[in-house]
């Protein structure tokens, strides 16, 4: 039996692990009906009401008191596999909902799929559909902070290499390329080329008793 959880705003409650009951949204639905009855048109997305938007690859700190949870909404622009994971020293848990059915059953859940007792919820999200992640401590008596990060999971499709720092005869260069899907960047060194010498030129002739001098220069200098 999942411990009772109370939303950050202190109004939303959930008992058990499957069917949340949200007082806030029901109240707003009633108020909305009253406004519409008065002849005023109001357009309001009730699905992910109160959920903070989360961006890809942007770590976010979450602070919760005992029994509370936080919600984060995300609408992918590309159908792909995405992973929301937590980091910290606490036992954390995450549930995934369709924003259009936030008061219904979750579509995925994870407890200890990450490092230690952290969650790592991976799921294939459809482009243009809004989802809501609900994160909380496994124990309703726990209070504290942890970090979360949402990332896309895919095989990188890199474009062509671009030279960002030219190599020289004695110094390595740098080249980079980016994934055409997510923009992830890969960098590697380009080996120095080494000198390419011109022919020797005598700059001081040798004599019977003294040594001469000859020099050569690199063709790249």
Sign for the pseudo-dihedral over CA of 135, 138, 140, 142:
negative
pLDDT tens-place string over residues 27-38: 555 655 565 565
- Is the full-model pTM beyond 0.85? no
C-alpha span between 28 and 50 (Å, rounded): 12
pLDDT at position 25, please?
Answer: 54
Look-up: residue for tokens 């671009």? 162
Non-local (6+) Cβ contacts of 155 within 8 A are: none
Mean pLDDT over 32-55 rounds to 59
pLDDT at position 2, please?
Answer: 46
pLDDT tens-place string over residues 137-168: 999 999 999 999 999 988 888 899 999 998 88
Look-up: residue for tokens 């406004």? 35
pLDDT tens-place string over residues 179-204: 887 788 899 998 888 888 888 888 88
Q: Assess contact for 181 and 166: CB atoms under 8 A.
A: no
pLDDT at position 181, please?
Answer: 79
pLDDT at position 39, please?
Answer: 56
Q: What is the mean pLDDT of the chain?
A: 81
**Residue 5 in this model has a pLDDT that exceeds 60:** no
pLDDT tens-place string over residues 66-122: 889 999 999 999 899 999 999 999 999 999 999 999 889 999 999 999 999 999 999
Sign for the pseudo-dihedral over CA of 145, 15, 98, 154:
positive
């Amino acid at each position: 039996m999942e411990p009772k959880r109370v939303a950050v705003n202190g109004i939303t409650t959930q008992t058990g692990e499957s069917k949340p009951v949200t007082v806030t949204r029901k109240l707003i639905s009633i108020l909305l009906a009253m406004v519409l009855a008065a002849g005023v048109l109001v357009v309001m997305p009730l699905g992910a009401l109160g959920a903070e938007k989360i961006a890809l690859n942007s770590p976010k700190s979450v602070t919760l008191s005992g029994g509370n949870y936080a919600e984060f909404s995300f609408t992918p622009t590309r159908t792909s596999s995405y992973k929301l994971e937590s980091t910290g020293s606490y036992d954390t848990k995450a549930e995934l909902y369709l924003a259009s059915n936030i008061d219904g059953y979750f579509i995925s859940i994870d407890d200890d799929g990450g490092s230690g007792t952290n969650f790592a919820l991976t799921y294939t999200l459809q482009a243009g559909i809004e989802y809501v992640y609900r994160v909380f401590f496994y124990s309703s008596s726990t209070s504290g902070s942890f970090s979360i990060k949402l990332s896309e999971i895919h095989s990188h499709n890199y474009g062509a290499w671009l030279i960002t720092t030219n190599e020289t005869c004695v110094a390595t260069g740098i080249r980079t390329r980016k994934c055409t899907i997510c923009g992830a960047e890969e960098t590697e060194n380009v080996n120095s080329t080494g000198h390419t010498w011109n022919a020797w030129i005598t700059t001081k002739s040798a004599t019977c008793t003294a040594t001469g001098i000859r020099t050569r220069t690199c063709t790249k200098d």
